[in-house]
Amino acid sequence: DTGVSQDPRHKITKRGQNVTFRCDPISEHNRLYWYRQTLGQGPEFLTYFQNEAQLEKSRLLSDRFSAERPKGSFSTLEIQRTEQGDSAMYLCASSLPNRGYTFGSGTRLTVV
Amino acid sequence: AQTVTQSQPEMSVQEAETVTLSCTYDTSESNYYLFWYKQPPSRQMILVIRQEAYKQQNATENRFSVNFQKAAKSFSLKISDSQLGDTAMYFCAFRPTGNQFYFGTGTSLTVIP
């Protein structure tokens, strides 16, 4: 287990299309987080899972966004009807309680 | 509201010299954690150092150390003996009770050979 994996690394999509990203956390980490990072900014919290339960959602997570972690292992983040404003780096992180995050390399989304 | 402020968008330092990156935060909570993360160009974020607010002793990790001033809500990062590989974006992060991290806008550090 070499860390947090995210797939794909890059995604270019046309406005209005749906996209789905995958995150595989470190296997013993029960906590999983999704963040969004735009150019020149720090990461912004989107949502958090403890095992399979989605415990927190940011107001940034509009109804076009949905995240799942069905078996408490990998997670998916889906964006429906993408807009140009969705262009960003989407970061996944995992952790144990009260520890720092381990981040994945991110998925860079470009909506054209 | 929980906020993190990094007032230095860009900094540079000569190789082998020491540099300090500043960070302030705002919270009403008494128990929390503070972190510095490093994000090299086009690479993933890496945890540099971590500090628990209830600990008075400043955290140290090799060439990296912090100056944690709880009353002033200040959490600066000192990098000693700067190396070329330290060139990166540095983010200060704050985690109150709960699970959400709050990040600053980052400081871009360039180490000059």
Q: Cα separation of A3 and B43, whole Å? A: 13
- Give the other-Cβ count within 10 Å of A98's Cβ: 11
For residue B85 the two structure tokens come to 């590989």
3-class state of residue B86 by DSSP:
helix
B47 contact residues in A (CB cutoff 8 A): 100-102
Phi and psi at B80, nearest 5°, equal -95, 155
Residue from B26, B105, B108, B7 nearest A44 by CA: B105
Give A44-92 as a DSSP string: EEEEEEETTEEEEE-TTS-TTEEEE-TTSS-EEEEESS--GGG-EEEEE
Contacts of B40 (CB under 8 A, 6+ apart): B46, B85, B87, B88, B89
B73-82: pLDDT as tens digits = 999 999 999 9
Q: CB-based contact (8 Å) between B3 and chain A?
A: no
Residue from A27, A101, A67, A88 nearest B99 by CA: A101
Classify residue B84 by its DSSP letter.
G
Share of chain A above pLDDT 90, in %: 73
Averaged pLDDT for residues A52-61: 87
Residue B1 has pLDDT above 80, yes or no: no
Confidence of residue B5 (pLDDT cuts 50, 70, 90): very high
Distances from the Cα of B60 to the Cα of A93, B77, B86, angstroms: 24, 10, 16
Q: CB-based contact (8 Å) between B98 and chain A?
A: yes
What is the per-residue pLDDT for A68?
A: 95
Contacts of B32 (CB under 8 A, 6+ apart): B53, B94, B95, B96, B97
Averaged pLDDT for residues B96-103: 81
Determine which of A23-32, B12-21, B91-100 has the lowest per-residue pLDDT on average: B91-100
Distances from the Cα of B6 to the Cα of A33, B96, B105, angstroms: 23, 18, 6
Distances from the Cα of A98 to the Cα of A1, A35, A84, B105, angstroms: 21, 18, 35, 23
What is the per-residue pLDDT for A97?
A: 78
A2-26: pLDDT as tens digits = 699 999 999 999 999 999 999 999 9
B15-62: pLDDT as tens digits = 999 999 999 999 888 889 999 999 988 778 899 999 998 888 999 999
Query: Could you tell me which residues of chain A have a Cβ less than 8 Å from any Cβ in chain B?
Result: 31, 33, 35, 40-45, 48, 50, 55-56, 58, 91, 98, 100-106
Please answer yes or no on whether B47 and A100 come within 8 Å at the CB atom. Answer: yes
A96-107: pLDDT as tens digits = 877 778 999 999
